[in-house]
Amino acid sequence: IAKEMEKLLEMETQLGDEGKSKFVLKTPKGTRDYNPKQMAIRERVFNAIITCFKRHGAEVIDTPVFELKETLTGKYGEDSKLIYDLKDQGGELLSLRYDLTVPFARYLAMNKIINIKRYHIAKVYRRDNPAMTRGRYREFYQCDFDIAGQFDPMIPDAECLKIVHEILSELQLGDFLIKVNDRRILDGMFAVCGVPESKFRTICSSVDKLDKMPWEDVRSEMVGEKGLSPEAADHIGEYVQLHGGLDLIEQLLQDPKLSQNKLAKEGLGDMKLLFEYLTLFGITGKISFDLSLARGLDYYTGVIFEAVLVQQENNQVEEPVSVGSVAGGGRYDGLVGMFDPKGRKVPCVGVSIGIERIFSIMEQKLEASAEKIRTTETQVLVASAQKKLLEERLKLISELWDAGIKAEMLYKKNPKLLNQLQYCEDTGIPLVAIVGEQELKDGVVKLRVVATREEVDVRRESLAEEIKTRTSQT
Amino acid sequence: IAKEMEKLLEMETQLGDEGKSKFVLKTPKGTRDYNPKQMAIRERVFNAIITCFKRHGAEVIDTPVFELKETLTGKYGEDSKLIYDLKDQGGELLSLRYDLTVPFARYLAMNKIINIKRYHIAKVYRRDNPAMTRGRYREFYQCDFDIAGQFDPMIPDAECLKIVHEILSELQLGDFLIKVNDRRILDGMFAVCGVPESKFRTICSSVDKLDKMPWEDVRSEMVGEKGLSPEAADHIGEYVQLHGGLDLIEQLLQDPKLSQNKLAKEGLGDMKLLFEYLTLFGITGKISFDLSLARGLDYYTGVIFEAVLVQQENNQVEEPVSVGSVAGGGRYDGLVGMFDPKGRKVPCVGVSIGIERIFSIMEQKLEASAEKIRTTETQVLVASAQKKLLEERLKLISELWDAGIKAEMLYKKNPKLLNQLQYCEDTGIPLVAIVGEQELKDGVVKLRVVATREEVDVRRESLAEEIKTRTSQT
């Protein structure tokens, strides 16, 4: 027994030590750091998106990363369980924002703004099961563009789709398709199929699963779990396989049942108008009116849309295979009213760019390509060929900085020229300004082009200009 | 009694109703939204700072907004109580980052990076008592630039000070002064004054209060609360009133007591070297070696510095009055080692720009000036003079967007020309492209300059070029 005890005590000691030294060096689950290379890619993607948002005249706002818990309560339906709450440390109860749309609506109501076109790029937080290889994280960026205000129908809605089209074309991620539908058409369809009104939202969220599940499974969820009649489900099944363009809209406007439903008729009328505007924008080639598109969130009230990348299969007869959503949005005319003390509504339509998935794709593409990504913009390295020239390097680099030149030097007293040149090779710095005894006497600096090894003496007073000229193509 | 009861019930009902309707429409305590005008100012300040960081060859990284709680534990001394914790919802214990320095050190240790120059601009969180009028918030931006790696002494340290000098000059906030000291000089000074080593840090944090409290109060804190001998305190009092330049450094190197202390001697030697480099950078005019500078954080190990804006009093004889710190930083050679499993150290020096205070000052300055800040970059409004031209406006704006022009239009079917021109006045759009029946027939667009009311017909195919030329000065 004594031996056994000894063993146990030893094990305990070991475990104790392990516990102590086992400080885990990691980022929280579902989050990541961005290293300089990833940041360089991220900046490229952000720039393309921000340029587009600004081209459409958007202002920019920012809101805090957390909101009062009650601000988020009752806005996300079932997904509310994914909200991160802060610990009650005395004071207000706070939660991390779940998206940028609800804070935007809170901002509008709080500041009594009835008219704004703004973008907002910021991180949002969801305690989801992360699938990080597919670009899904618990902390991730959203890039939102929204138009708030009472306007003539479908003009802002059409602009949102134009923006998605511009961004996805610009980023060259491959072929894409923007699916469009309208919550009013869905609700009208549910009504004529015999779905009781109390089940509209839950049946809608079943339809939303059609991009991940076959119809048979969705049907059995409707009938089995949600208690819909088999006839109603089959009727829905006929509608949700429909997709097309103006012709389909016209066809449904003639549909004996749908055309009798007020909501559906309104939705179809607006859809027709939307397609007319999209024709003027010249982008209907990538738009598909798709009755199976439902979107998860509760707050949509009109047009909804989602952009997916499509992989063209070799077999041309096959339908294009969707590889995931990269943008989505829609109209939400009731959300601001939920915050206004008097319930005053501000109609809104907006689009959210799925930046993390886009970023993952870009990263993979660049990884596969030969392109070397620079993580700095340094134009010139200030170097020396001999020893004891640290002071001269410091003086020269200071002159260049003051002239607006992006310049670096090695933080060594007497660096070897080879090491300095190697640093340029490694980091992509195109030019080297070399100070030496002779050059100092002559009032010149030797400027070396890293790629060609060409060297030329430049008068010190015109060095900054020369560097600007030689690096102006970038 | 029945009446009284009735009254009470009525009051209760009223209170109940009130409680229900009392949804508070606000941002959490100590936080704020940024409206488009504030964002425009913020972007200007950020651009100036990022341009400077890039001029010095910095890469950029990003880290999650929260860290494992244990990552932050034991890094901030007393201030740890200000850390925001997340609620335990099952899973890891998380806290919002308190600064960007500790996450940076965690990042270096985790990725075994021994050499990097990076900047990081992001929000940090402190459950402090907010003084929002003075630009202090619970959620605020930090702009950090750090150089990590084993280098020859004082070269990276000098560059950090050059960066502060460049940024504060560029932003034109008024006159400023950069105070410099060294933790080793402070510790050496404490030793020769007879402070027991166990009291170094706590006496150091008393010295840190000298910018807010007179010496007498600091002295009584040292003697009364912290149990220092009056003689030691008085001795410290003599040192901490010293400030100057190279001459003071030379004087202290001759100081019979300080020169005998190994730490102080090291610190003074490096300080001399630093001033030599700063002389080569031509910035010693705004640098003051100040023995009263202590800095709050525990982790500094060498050079420390802090930049303050100074208000020149009318009375030229008076010392300049400090109006608050706008940047600070220093060397922290031990922090990365706290994260490394084997305790391997990576020497670091860095600077943090106090962006919120700078932003407050810029906001006040712009508020006071006549300058009107544009919140969009729109170059042209696509307008119409007659009715029924919505389709034509949509077609033209689409052409302009596709040509890279920043263009807007009113989201109305038949807007009045006057309203369209007014929109340009309000938002600062410089040009209006007017489509009309006659212009359509002639294949031209009327281009109007808002400021001068000048109008000119431009051929439709050269409109984009014409707009680019006319708006290229911005």
Residue A411: give its domain's CATH number.
3.40.50.800
Q: How far is B158 from chain A (nearest CA, A)?
A: 10
Per-residue exposure over A51-75, b if at least 16 CB sit within 10 Å of its own CB, e if not: ebbbbbbbbbbbbbbbbbbebbeeb
Burial of residue A373, with CB atoms counted within 10 A of its CB: 0-12 exposed, 13-18 middle, 19 or more buried = middle
> What confidence tens digit (pLDDT) does each residue in A265-279 have?
999 999 999 999 999
Which of these three, B333, B368, B403, is where a domain ends?
B368
A385/chain B closest Cα distance in angstroms: 18
Give a yes or no: residue B20 inside a domain: no
* B375 annotated ligand-binding residue: no
User: Which pLDDT score, from 0 to 100, does residue A79 have?
Assistant: 81
Are B398 and A21 inside 8 Å of each other by CB?
Answer: no
- Strand runs labelled E in B196-280: 243-244
Percentage of chain B lying above the pLDDT 70 cut: 92
CB contact under 8 A, A411 and B377: no
Q: How many helices (H) and strands (E) does chain A have?
A: 17, 16
Examine the domain organization and report whether B311 and B434 are in the same domain: no
When pLDDT is averaged across residues A224-230 and rounded to a whole number, the result is: 93
pLDDT in tens, A126-163: 998 766 656 678 999 999 999 999 999 999 999 999 99
Same domain, B357 and B278: yes
End-to-end CA distance of chain B: 78
Q: Please report whether residue B398 resides in a domain.
A: yes
Query: Could you list the residue range(s) of the whole structural domain that residue B152 is in?
Result: 36-368
Burial of B203 (C-beta count, 10 Å sphere; 0-12/13-18/19+): buried
Q: Which residues does residue A446 pair with via DSSP β-bridges, in sequence order?
A: A434, A457
Give the closest of A34, A57, A111 to B376, CB-based: A57
Q: Are residues A128 and A234 in the same domain?
A: yes
Set of chain B residues whose Cβ sits within 8 Å of the Cβ of A375: 59-60
Please check the confidence at residue B3 and state whether its pLDDT lies above 80.
no
Is there a binding annotation on residue B431?
no
CA distance A269 to chain B (A): 16
Q: Between chains, do B33 and A62 touch, taking CB under 8 Å as contact?
A: yes
* Same-domain pairing of A328 and A430: no
Q: How confident is the model at residue A64 (pLDDT cuts 50, 70, 90)?
A: very high
Nearest CB neighbour to B24, from listed A68, A118, A127: A68
- Judged by CB atoms closer than 8 Å, whether chains meet at A39 and B54 is answered as no
Residues in chain A: 474
What pLDDT does residue B94 have?
Answer: 97
Determine the residue among A33, A151, A160, A342 to mutate to test chain B binding: the one whose Cβ has the most chain B Cβ atoms within 10 Å: A33
Tell me, yes or no, whether A285 and A420 share the same domain.
no
pLDDT in tens, A233-251: 999 999 999 999 999 999 9
This model of the complex carries an ipTM of 0.89
pLDDT band at residue A211, thresholds of 50, 70 and 90?
Answer: confident
Chain B residues closer than 8 Å to A285 by CB? none
Top pLDDT among A262 and A130 is at A262
The minimum CA-CA distance between B402 and chain A, rounded to whole Å, is: 8
The yes-or-no verdict on residue B76 having pLDDT over 90 is no
Of A429-443, B10-24, B225-239, the least confident: B10-24
pLDDT at residue B13, as a whole number:
59
CB contact under 8 A, A68 and B162: no
Of the pLDDT bands very low, low, confident and very high (cuts 50, 70, 90), residue B128 is: confident
Residues B61 and B203 in one domain: yes
Q: Give me the residue from B33, B376, B407 closest to A61, CB to CB.
A: B33
Q: Which residues of B touch A32 (CB under 8 A)?
A: 64
What's A231's DSSP letter? H
Q: What is the pLDDT of residue B55?
A: 98
CATH number, domain of B211, equals: 3.30.930.10
Count Cα atoms within 13 angstroms, Cβ side, for A355.
Answer: 25
B455 and B346 together in one domain: no
Q: What is the pLDDT of residue A401?
A: 98
Contacts with B336 from chain A: Cβ below 8 Å:
none
Instruction: Specify the pLDDT at position B325.
Output: 87
Is B99 part of any known ligand binding site? yes
Query: Do A72 and A103 lie in a common domain?
Result: yes
Residue B25 lies in a domain: no
- SS3 sequence of B260-325: HCHHHHHHHHHHHHHHHHHHHCCCHHHEEEECCCCCCCCCCCCEEEEEEEEECCCCCCCCCEEEEE
pLDDT tens for residues B299-358? 899 999 999 998 765 555 545 555 678 999 999 999 999 999 998 999 999 999 989 889
**A411–B32 CB contact, under 8 Å:** no
Residue B17 pLDDT grade (very low, low, confident, very high; cuts 50, 70, 90): very low
Was B27 annotated as part of a binding site? no
Which residue from A minimizes the CA distance to B273? A391
Mean pLDDT, residues A314-342: 79
Q: Determine whether the interchain pair B341/A25 forms a contact, defined as Cβ–Cβ distance below 8 Å.
A: yes
Is A440 domain-assigned? yes
Q: Do A405 and B55 touch (CB under 8 A)?
A: yes
Block residue for tokens 């990541």: A32
* Cβ contact A277:B394 at 8 Å: yes
Do residues B110 and B57 share a domain?
Answer: yes
Average pLDDT over residues A192-203: 92
B123 contacts in chain A (CB < 8 Å): 65
Q: Is the pLDDT at B369 greater than 90, yes or no?
A: no
Any binding-site annotation on B234? no
pLDDT at A20: 44
Q: Of B239 and B315, which is predicted with more confidence?
A: B239
Burial class of residue A112 (count of CB atoms within 10 Å of its CB; 0-12, 13-18, 19+): exposed
Residue A228: pLDDT over 90: yes
Closest approach of chain A CAs to the CA of B98, in angstroms? 14
Q: Which residue of B has its CA nearest to A73?
A: B23
Q: Considering only CB atoms, which chain B residues are within 8 Å of A54?
A: 376-377, 406
- pLDDT the model gives residue A141: 94
Do A40 and A134 fall within a single domain?
yes
Q: How many domains, in total, are found in chain B?
A: 2
With a cut of 50, say whether residue B104 has pLDDT above it.
yes
Quick check: A430 and A471 in contact, CB under 8 A? yes
Which residues neighbour A102 within 8 Å (Cβ) at sequence distance 6 or greater?
A: A67, A71, A72, A75, A76, A335
**Which of A187-201, B156-170, B204-218 tops mean pLDDT?**
B156-170
Confidence (pLDDT) at A18: 44
Q: Which of B338, B368, B398 is the last residue of a domain?
A: B368
Nearest residue of B to residue A104 by CA position? B33
Domain's final residue, options B326, B346, B368:
B368
Of B27, B39, B58, the CB nearest to A61: B39
Average confidence (pLDDT) over B75-102 = 92
* Mutation for A interface: B275, B411, B422, most A CBs within 10 A: B411
Classify residue A373: in a domain, yes or no.
Answer: no
Name the percent of chain A lying above pLDDT 70: 92
Query: Residue A319: pLDDT above 60?
Result: no
B299 annotated to a ligand binding site: yes
What digits encode the pLDDT tens for the residues B385-397? 899 999 999 999 9
Domain assignment of residue A276, yes or no: yes
Q: Do B94 and A70 touch (CB under 8 A)?
A: no
Which among A36, A127, A401 has the least Cβ separation from residue B118? Answer: A36
Mean pLDDT of chain B: 91
Residue B2 belongs to a domain: no
Within this chain, do residues A182 and A260 fall inside the same structural domain, yes or no?
A: yes
The whole-chain average pLDDT of chain A stands at 91
For residue B195, tell me if it sits in a domain.
yes
Q: What is the pLDDT of residue B323?
A: 62
Report the gap between the CA of B196 and the closest CA in chain A (Å): 31
Shared domain for A210 and A298, answered yes or no, is yes
